[in-house]
């Protein structure tokens, strides 16, 4: 069983979406964790946009990277540049570190419709990336 960590700045939006899709696509082949270098709480718009795709992440929590110090990860995936650049050392023996910067829809300042479209675009990009990751690595 592989251990996979998804890392973002606040573990509220992009990492939560990736966590949900990785669990969905990996099924029982991996333990999925998500964390932030800070914790910002679960983003309600991320929960809502995932629900529109049949994914329920409402039970997720916003976790700090320090909570997972004792887990030996096989993959550490950063989903934003800030987390990638400011990530503390994570002591995993042979972890493969991957990075993909997804746009942060929570930073969009526009109409409600434009914000929802930004969340949908990021969600769809994360979904495609996660599906390919699972296919290629698990």
Name the more confident of 84 and 46.
46
DSSP character at residue 58: T
Q: Answer whether residue 14 shows pLDDT above 70.
A: yes
Q: pLDDT digits over 43-54, tens only?
A: 999 999 999 999
87 is catalytic: yes
CA distance 68 to 73: 9
13 is catalytic: no
- Catalytically annotated residue among 4, 42, 47, 87: 87
**3-state SS string for 20-42:** HHHHHHHHHHEEEEEEECCCCCC
Q: Answer whether residue 88 shows pLDDT above 70.
A: no
Q: Smallest Cα–Cα separation from 66: which of 86, 38, 93, 42?
A: 38
- Catalytically annotated residue among 6, 8, 18, 126: 8
Stated length of the chain: 138
Hey, what domains does the chain have and what are their CATH numbers? 2-137 (3.40.50.2300)
130 is catalytic: no
Q: pLDDT digits over 96-118, tens only?
A: 999 999 999 999 999 999 999 99
- Catalytically annotated residue among 13, 46, 80, 126: 80
Sheet holding 2-8, edge to edge: 30-36, 2-8, 75-78, 96-99
pTM of the predicted protein model: 0.95
Please name the residue that has the structure tokens 């997972």: 68
Two tokens, residue 103: 């746009």
């Amino acid at each position: 069983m592989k251990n996979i960590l998804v890392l973002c700045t606040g573990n509220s939006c992009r990492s939560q979406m990736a966590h949900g899709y990785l669990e969905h696509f990996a099924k029982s082949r991996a333990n999925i964790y998500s964390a932030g270098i800070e914790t910002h709480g679960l983003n309600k718009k991320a929960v809502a946009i995932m629900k529109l795709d049949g994914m329920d992440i409402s039970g997720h929590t916003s976790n700090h990277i320090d909570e997972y110090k004792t887990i030996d990860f096989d993959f550490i995936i950063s989903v934003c540049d800030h987390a990638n650049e400011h990530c503390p050392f994570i002591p995993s023996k042979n972890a493969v570190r991957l990075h993909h910067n997804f746009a942060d829809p929570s930073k969009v300042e526009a109409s409600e419709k434009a914000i929802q479209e930004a969340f949908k675009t990021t969600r769809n990009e994360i979904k495609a990336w996660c599906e390919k990751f699972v296919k290629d690595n698990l």
